[in-house]
């Protein structure tokens, strides 16, 4: 009886041991997965780098555009100020002429 019990225990232990060990094929598959994951990570990092560069470039372009717009606005403001100044001068000249005219209308 004891012998039979020992045999059963050993067989059970063997079965457990055999079931717990990975095959060579399993190991290769794991390694391949790891490589693929590493490649994907590299690709993702590269993509991220490229995206960052693209974003930086876009920001740079946007900044340039903003600068251009600001310059244009400044020029427009300057033009407006010049036009306003011109108008003011024209009004002043007209007013001055009117004043002289009024004075000339006295006896």
Token couple for 15: 């079965």
Only one of the segments 29-37, 60-68, 77-85, 92-100 lies at the binding site for another protein (rule: CB under 8 A); that segment is 92-100
Q: Which of 19, 20, 21, 101 binds another protein (CB under 8 A)?
A: 101
Measure Cα distances from 53 to 18, 35, 85 in Å: 53, 27, 47
Q: How far apart are the C-alpha atoms of 51 and 45, rounded to whole Å? A: 10
Interface with another protein includes 88 (CB under 8 A)? no
Residue 82 touching another protein (CB under 8 A): no
Contact positions toward another protein, by CB under 8 A? 90, 93-94, 97-98, 100-107
């Amino acid at each position: 009886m004891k012998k039979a019990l020992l045999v059963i225990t050993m067989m059970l232990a063997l079965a457990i041991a055999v079931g717990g060990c990975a095959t060579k094929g399993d190991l290769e598959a794991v390694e391949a997965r790891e490589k693929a994951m590493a490649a994907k990570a590299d690709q993702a990092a590269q993509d991220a780098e490229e995206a960052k560069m693209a974003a930086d470039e876009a920001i740079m372009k946007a900044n340039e555009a903003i600068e251009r717009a600001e310059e244009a606005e400044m020029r427009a403001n300057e033009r407006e100020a010049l036009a306003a100044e011109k108008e003011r001068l024209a009004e002043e000249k007209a007013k001055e002429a009117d004043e002289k005219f009024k004075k000339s209308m006295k006896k």
